[in-house]
Amino acid sequence: MEILNLNKDNFEELVLKAEGPVLVDFWAPWCGPCMMLSPIVDEIAEEKSGLTVGKVNVDENQFLAIRYGIDSIPALLLFKDGKLAGRSIGLRSKEELIEKFGL
């Protein structure tokens, strides 16, 4: 499954207007825990059909980070029908994330 590169120009269309759940990974290239979480997010994207997954580089997209109250990364937000339905901050295992978000 393709992982979307999200930014302020495409976020509304790809996340807020999406049909089905969208998991959004807020990350930065200098963030060690983000680098450790990235392959876990990739695995979830590959294994869960019907789930759209996208990533937001907070250094390049501060507007989105501020808009969604991201003050610590990695942060995963789950959107359903355009509404925020769940949030996870910090490094978590795949099993924890699947359980937390009901994936």
Q: So which residues are the catalytic ones?
A: 31, 34
Q: Identify the CA nearest to 55 among candidates 44, 85, 17, 96.
A: 44
Helix (H) / strand (E) element for 57: namely strand 52-57
Under a CB-based contact definition with an 8 Å cutoff, are residues 90 and 33 in contact?
A: yes
Could you tell me which of 5, 10, 20 has the C-alpha nearest to residue 51? 20
Contact 90, 74 (CB under 8 A): yes
Quote the distance between the C-alpha of residue 89 and its chain's center: 11
